[in-house]
């Protein structure tokens, strides 16, 4: 075994992907599986192919190229608004892109013409989360500019919620997006095929038939990979949960005072951890750190273990109340959230163990 190690349950991911695809198909909603979370890993991607996923989204040209070179011929959406500097390179590999800038649309248009293809464009609208997106009052102007461009087709509009400010998708903001689409269709004099209403956090709204009828696309990553919905702080019923597990090795185990000693940096703020004086405690230091994981997203499987913090190479835990006796060289296992998974999959220092 090479530690730290990430155990990846491929069959569970495959079953989640297949289940969600079938559920959305039943509502006439197209699933675009967001695959950026596993950093172009072809072993994980195979699970998506086996689940008959026909539309994927990624943010990195390196990953997109790998999927094409591995033989994937179905739809690829450029999930992050493309950088002007990468548009010529990426257009031959993608079928669609999110856009918010006229300049970006114009560059995609030129590159698409040169590649003799049509790229579908989806305008992202900011309806509150303040990440990417054009403001509603500027939507029609951008749409009309795109309509006049060769090599591209305005496919629809979309939004993103929850990923920056943590704004939760609800009836109010989703119906606002629906109304924006209707108004834009009236101005353009044609129907738009796509209303891409959001991500994993939007799934719960589809229980309402009126909303489900209007939504035609969801871009979903977390629900498939982890069976969780971090924005609504819930596990998704009927799905496999926490399909990635981190294993890390204890390299030091000692009793130490819980309170730091000495002058604290940054005006007494230290490193930002909330440190409570609990007296003498048993601390285990593990060989994994911020370079490999987001320690805020680690949930110890062993009862009584508490994650205190991390530096670049070390994870600091309190094991005073651990349910079993521990020693140097022992392995602790953690369930992980999306952020921790993303970093672990990206880190070359975390070995990957595939479980069928």
As annotated, the active-site residues are 36
Token digits for 166?
A: 């943590």
Token digits for 283?
A: 């601390």
Sign of dihedral through CA atoms 204, 296, 239, 22? positive
- Report the distance separating Cα 91 and Cα 87, nearest Å: 6
Cβ neighbours around 35 below 10 Å, total: 26
Q: What are phi and psi of 228, to 5 degrees?
A: -125, 165
Closest CA to 278 of 301, 308, 315, 250: 308
In this structure, are strands 217-220 and 228-229 parallel, antiparallel, or unpaired? unpaired
- Report the distance separating Cα 227 and Cα 221, nearest Å: 9
Closest CA to 293 of 354, 248, 233: 248
Contact 131, 160 (CB under 8 A): yes
- Report the distance separating Cα 11 and Cα 355, nearest Å: 8
């Amino acid at each position: 075994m090479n530690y730290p190690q990430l155990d990846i349950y491929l069959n569970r991911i495959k079953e989640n992907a297949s289940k969600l695809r079938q559920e959305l198909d039943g509502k006439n909603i197209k699933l675009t599986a967001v695959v950026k979370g596993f950093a172009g890993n072809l072993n994980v991607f195979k699970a998506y192919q086996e689940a008959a996923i026909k539309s994927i989204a990624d943010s990195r040209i390196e990953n997109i190229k790998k999927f094409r070179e591995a033989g994937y011929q179905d739809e690829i959406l450029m999930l992050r608004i493309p950088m002007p500097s990468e548009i010529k390179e990426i257009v031959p590999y993608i079928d669609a892109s999110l856009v918010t800038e006229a300049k970006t649309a114009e560059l995609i248009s030129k590159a698409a013409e040169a590649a003799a293809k049509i790229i579908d464009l989806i305008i992202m609208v900011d309806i509150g989360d303040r990440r990417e997106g054009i403001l509603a009052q500027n939507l029609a102007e951008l749409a009309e500019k795109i309509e006049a461009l060769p090599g591209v087709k305005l496919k629809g509009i979309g939004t993103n919620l929850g990923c920056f400010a943590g704004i939760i998708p609800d009836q109010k903001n989703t119906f606002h997006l629906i109304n924006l689409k209707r108004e834009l269709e009236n101005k353009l004099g044609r129907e738009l095929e796509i209303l891409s209403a959001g991500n994993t956090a939007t799934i719960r709204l589809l229980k309402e038939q009126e909303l489900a009828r209007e939504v035609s696309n969801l871009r979903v990553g977390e629900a498939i990979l982890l069976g969780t919905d971090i924005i609504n702080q819930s596990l998704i019923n009927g799905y496999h949960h926490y399909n990635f597990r981190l294993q890390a090795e204890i390299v030091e185990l000692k009793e130490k005072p819980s309170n730091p000693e000495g002058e604290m940096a940054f005006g007494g703020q230290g490193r930002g951890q909330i440190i409570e004086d609990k007296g003498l405690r048993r601390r285990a230091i593990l060989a994994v750190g911020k370079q490999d994981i987001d320690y805020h997203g680690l949930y110890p499987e062993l009862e009584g273990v508490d994650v205190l913090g991390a530096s670049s190479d070390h994870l600091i835990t309190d094991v005073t109340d651990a349910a079993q006796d521990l020693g140097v060289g022992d392995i602790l296992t953690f369930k992980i959230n999306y952020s921790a998974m993303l970093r672990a999959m990206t880190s070359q220092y975390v070995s990957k163990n595939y479980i069928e």
